[in-house]
Amino acid sequence: MADVKLTIAGRPYDVHCADGEEAQLMRLAAVVDEQVRTMPGVTEVRQLLFAALMLADEAQEARGKVEKAEPQSDSLRAAVALAESREAAARDELKAAVEREKAALKELDTARQNAATAAPAANPSNDRALLQIADRIETLAAKVEQLP
């Protein structure tokens, strides 16, 4: 237990508090002292009464603001949670689409390799050779037609 010496309205007070709470108690006493000093010419008891009433009013207003803000905070938390879940779903969908595209590209590459192996005519150099052979056949056919 700690002992703290406070001064409110020019009068000293000895107060006991839990260890570690001394600084907070001194800050609170300073707030009360500030309120009391705004009421000169009134008895000490009345100063403390009015200071307590004014501080209680401020505390009640603050609670009211917090209560009004809580539903908005709940709505915002719900909106953030919904946005995060949608983001996660979109991310998962995008990953799945990327994997599908990778698989399709791999399948296409495999099909190209198989086609190149199975049908060499699909090779551009083979296509040229086939065209040259076709041209020769046409030339020969034309010569055959010209024969008597």
pLDDT digits (tens, 9 = 90+) for 4-13: 999 998 889 9
Per-residue pLDDT tens over the stretch 23-47? 999 999 999 998 888 887 888 888 8
- Asked whether residue 129 is assigned to any structural domain, the reply reads yes
Residue 3 lies in a domain: no
Give the tens place of pLDDT for each residue, 60-84. 999 888 888 888 878 888 888 889 8
Flag whether 25 is in a domain: no
Q: Which residues have CB under 8 Å from 21's CB, separation 6+?
A: 2
Calculate Rg over the CA atoms of the chain.
Answer: 46
User: Containing domain of residue 128, as a range?
Assistant: 119-143
Lowest mean pLDDT among 23-37, 46-60, 90-104: 90-104
Q: 9: Cβ–Cβ under 8 A, 6 or more apart, which residues? A: 33, 36, 37, 44, 47, 48
In a domain, 8, yes or no: no
Average pLDDT over all residues of the chain: 83
Q: How many domains does the chain have?
A: 1
Residue 130 lies in a domain: yes
Q: What is the pTM of this model?
A: 0.45
Residue 136 lies in a domain: yes
In a domain, 70, yes or no: no
Q: Could you tell me if residue 139 is inside a domain?
A: yes
